[in-house]
Structure 1
């Protein structure tokens, strides 16, 4: 509640079993973006480059999810 707005986000505890969505996304992020796995792979010294790659990944990922669920 201190970091995120409670009206738009909710905390998920370990007992609810709902953390699998978050963990699945984290695993997808690590698998698709090498720079979030190891410092020596695809490493850039500029924070802006990391942010740009993450932003592009999120745009593409969200578009893919949207297309997947709309076409069903």
Structure 2
């Protein structure tokens, strides 16, 4: 199933988020596929289209990043 995910970056944490991404990649668990993403002009949000076998699998991916952003699925 495909999911639209809205990442709301925590204030002052955008640099940390992109540093982790550069060091570790997306950290996708098995069964989760990145399709595409768009960043807001003000760099406060990322809209991601993801595919996952289940919402539980997608939540495993979110857990890798939820210290740096809030997520809405």
> Normalised by the shorter chain, which TM-score bucket?
under 0.3
Higher strand fraction (1 or 2)? 2
Higher helix fraction (1 or 2)? 1
With normalisation by structure 2, the TM-score equals: 0.25
Higher relative contact order (CA 8 A, sep 6+): 2
